[in-house]
A and B are shown apart, each in its own frame.
Chain A
Amino acid sequence: MDLNKRLFRLDIENNKSQPPPLNFTMVTTPPDEDEDDELSPLKLREESSKPSQIDLAKRVDPVANVQPFDAALSRIYRHTPTPTVVLDASLQVVEVSDSHLSFAGLSRDVALESFICDICPRVIPALDIATLYGALRAAITSRDIQHVDNIHLPDPNSYYSLRITPIYEKSTLLYMTLEAHSITKKFSNPTNNHHSYVNDTYKVLLDTVKDYAIFMLDTRGNIVTWNSGAAILKGYSARDIIGKHFSTFYGEEDRLADKPGKELVVCLREGKVEDEGWRYRKDGSRFWANVLITPMYEFGRHIGFTKVTRDLTERNAAEARMIAAFEESAKLKTDFLANMSHEIRTPMNGMLLALTTLMEAGLTERQREYASIIEDSTSLLLQVINDVLDYSKLSSGSFSLHPDAFSVDNVTGAVVRNCKSTLKPDVELVSYIAPGFPLQVEGDPLRYRQVLQNLVGNAVKFTDKGYVKIQTSFAEDMADPTLLNITTEVFDTGVGVPEDAHSSLFTPFTRFADSSTRRYQGTGLGLSICKSLAELMDGSVGFRPNPEGRGSVFWMTTKMRRVDIKVPLRTLSPGSLVENDEDIEAKIHALAPHKYVLLVEDNLVNQMVMLKLLKNMGFARVDAAWDGAEAVRLVKQQPFAYNLILMDINMPILDGVEATQQIRQMGLDVPIIALTGNALKGDAEMYMAKGMSDYIGKPIHRKQLTRLIWKWIGT
């Protein structure tokens, strides 16, 4: 078709200068309402009015070549249901089908012997004489069938294509058939040709819509149309508003910010713009509006905008009512949970107490076994209730954090020890902390521990062999340098999490593990509590499969505040006094491997005992010096290496007090604890005044020393 079109154009160009052989008086060029997609109607119209000519008659000899139309065969064309016209080489109609006559509304007499160009192109059908002529010309020159598509007939509203078949005998043109094929079905949307009808319908439609303000703006944003919905919504009559700029509806602030103008710019760029906000009525009252602006184009030219405005006030009020109702019901639910858990806990405590007494009452082996089953179940039940309590507190927002300075490393150590008892024999439980991790951070140690305990507890529970690895790292917060982003990851080689459960892992009361077996006990609340707690600590929790293949990685991030640990003197906080010795011992044990201690003691027996004591407390790196001078030398070699110095007082060469003074003169604030046999009050004050941090009397008792060390290097 492209080729033919080109031929057709070429032909028109070539023949421009030739004299017109045709009588154009009969040809009417119809108003060009339907466009041929590819041909400019304007151009066609122009060209068709110019003298155009074909010299077909010169090339063919109609008399010599036209054979008398065989009567029998002519019946084919006469009766074919396809509207068909047969032309001879001189383009005179030699046969026309009945179907075409009825289609065109012509009589046979008029049609026969007519020159094709004398027939109104509408009834052939053709767009206009020029198109038809071009197509004929193309058919003759190319000796091939030509189609003219998309011929629109207004009455009845229909579309046709015209098929022009040149029939040659060798190089001689004998006939041409013109067949009209209806293609109306392809054009299901005929509206574009009913402008007036459509316009009327639309006008009625627009005016019937009362709930939407629908109106048009010109390219600069001035209002050009106004519907009754707009009149009702905005309170302006059409006469009031047409010609005014649409920014009239905006508030002062929006106008100052040129929001209306910006909306039009965005609208042109994006193809539409939607906005929600306050709009003002004529009487000054405002409503919450949803606004949609769309640019309008006609023939590719921007002619303005359509604007649709809805009043969302009522919808927003309804939404607010729904949210309130939802919140109310959620609150009732959590209140109920909290109350129930509380109510269950009280009798549970009674049961536990009675159970403990029972178990001490000299039970037989069998009875003891049953009693311990009760005990296990009871403690699980308590765990469930506590989880539910936590959960309901978290979801009601009544959970608060208690920030305190604490050591992440210590907490990790405590969790590791806590989980060791449930660790399966083929599983290794290890923890790593990033080098340079701050000794202390400020956060809620209990909540941090709760989350970590949960994650590690899960990992241990679901891992039968391999490892459970805790990795803690930190980074300075980009926005606030006093904050640290702490990432704690728990790697395991356990059962892993099936892919379909990834999304629901942190949803309350979902437990993927119990779908297949009842092997693992739990509430299904743990991870959801972790999530809420982590969020409370400005962090998050998440899951990814273990990159080493089997198992999971659960991670948590939290934000903790930096703590300035350079406090020269520290007193035991009231909180730490109530901590029991086992706890502190455990904490020291976790902390100790990362600490470097210098022991200064001149007495062999005491030194051996102290070294053993420190080793048992978990300190792996302890240097020993025999006197103050050696101690000062060691500190000079590695000024910042030691986390703690334990210093005897009476020593040969350089005593403890002098050694301490020399160390302080180096500008070091490492805690130095005096080990003294003269535990007199005045002595202690003198030691402190000379730069020692604290003192402990000999003989040194483990618990005392543990507490003291905890005071200085723990929390």
Chain B
Amino acid sequence: MSETIDQNTFEQILEMDDEGDNEFSKGIVFGFFDQAESTFDKMEKYLADKDLGELSSLGHYLKGSSATLGLIKVKDACEKIQHYGAGKDETGTNDEPDQEVSLENIRKTLTQVKKDYKEVEDFLRRYYGEPSS
């Protein structure tokens, strides 16, 4: 799981739990699940609308929270979506003038990030002793 979750960052969240329960971290993680799923839905919608600006913004938004939880793969993918949406290449250094290329890149990345997300979601649900969805 180490390439999917940054252990230090996630442990920091776990450390915030009061002794004896994991209410806080669990709340955060499950809050993130809701956030991620609704964001992916929005992304699909804006992808259909070809709204690169909104896609970039959503990428940035989810990047922040996934980074906070140390979900590296999700975070990296979101960052790519942010860059593609801003009309750049995946690292954000070079411009990508073709909107269609950007949209296509986002579509691919979104498909991949949903898989990555599912993987980490299953892992985390097991971690908190909940059945995977």
A605/B12 in contact, CB under 8 A: no
Given contacts A605-B31, A608-B31, contact A699 B16 (CB under 8 A): no
Known contacts A602-B61, A612-B16; A700 and B24 CB within 8 A of each other: no
Q: If the complex has contacts A612-B16, A613-B16, A650-B57, are A677 and B28 also in contact, measured as CB distance less than 8 A?
A: no
The answer, yes or no, to whether B40 is at the interface (CB within 8 Å) is no
List A contacts of B27 (CB < 8 A): 608
* Closest chain B residue to A680, Cβ basis: B92
A701 CB contact (under 8 Å) in B8, B24, B35, B61:
B8
Among A605, A648, A699, chain B packs the most CB atoms within 10 A around the CB of A605
**Does B124 lie at the interface of the complex (its beta carbon under 8 Å from any beta carbon of A)?**
no
Q: Is the interface of B mostly helix, strand, loop or mixed?
A: helix
- B102-129 interface with A by 8 A CB criterion: none
**What residues of B have a CB within 8 angstroms of the CB of A650 in the complex?**
57, 60-61, 64
- Chain B residues 57-73 with CB under 8 Å of chain A are 57, 60-61, 63-65, 67-70
Q: How many Å lie between the Cα of A608 and that of B26 in the bound state? A: 12
Which residues from A are CB-within-8-Å of B64?
Answer: 603, 605-606, 648, 650, 677, 698
Q: Are A604 and B31 in contact (CB under 8 A)?
A: yes
Give A675 Cβ to nearest chain B Cβ, in Å.
8
Residue A702, interface by CB 8 Å: yes
Q: Which of B9-62 contact A (CB under 8 A)?
A: 9, 12-13, 15-16, 24, 27-28, 31-32, 35, 57, 60-61
Cβ distance B26 to chain A, nearest Cβ, rounded Å? 12
In the bound complex, how far is the Cα of B9 from the Cα of A174, in angstroms?
Answer: 133
Alpha-carbon distance between A609 and B67 when the two chains are bound, in angstroms: 11
Once bound together, how far apart are the Cα atoms of A702 and B16, in whole Å? Answer: 10
**Number of residues on chain A facing chain B (CB within 8 A):** 18
Docked Cα-Cα span, A706 to B63, in Å, equals: 23
> Total interface residues on B, using CB and 8 Å?
24
Name the residue of chain A whose CB is nearest to the CB of B30.
A605
A605–B63 touching, CB < 8 Å: no
- Is A379 an interface position by the 8 A CB rule? no
Q: Is B6 an interface residue (CB 8 A)?
A: yes
A616 within 8 A of B: yes
In the assembly, what is the distance between CA of A604 and CA of B15, in Å?
Answer: 19
CB neighbours of B9 from chain A (8 A): 699, 701
CA distance A419 to B15 in the complex (A): 26
CA of A609 to CA of B28, assembled, Å: 7
The residue on A at minimum CB distance from B17 is: A612
User: Knowing A605-B32, A609-B16 touch, does A698 contact B67 (C-beta < 8 A)?
Assistant: yes
**Which residues in chain A, 25-71, are within 8 Å of chain B measured between CB atoms?**
none
Report which residue of A616, A677, A698, A701 has the largest number of chain B beta carbons within 10 angstroms of its beta carbon.
Answer: A677
CB interface residues, A 448-493, toward B, < 8 Å: none
**A residues in contact (CB < 8 Å) with B:** 602-606, 608-609, 612-613, 616, 648, 650, 677, 698-702
18 example contacts (A-B, Cβ-Cβ < 8 A) are as follows: A603-B35, A603-B61, A603-B64, A604-B35, A605-B28, A605-B31, A605-B65, A605-B69, A616-B16, A650-B57, A650-B60, A677-B63, A677-B67, A699-B6, A699-B69, A699-B70, A701-B8, A702-B12
> Shortest 10 CB-CB distances between A and B: which pairs?
A605-B65, A699-B67, A698-B67, A612-B16, A603-B64, A699-B9, A605-B32, A603-B65, A606-B68, A699-B68
Extra contacts besides A605-B31, A608-B31 (13): CB < 8 Å: A602-B61, A603-B35, A603-B61, A604-B35, A605-B65, A606-B65, A608-B28, A612-B24, A650-B57, A677-B64, A677-B79, A698-B64, A698-B67
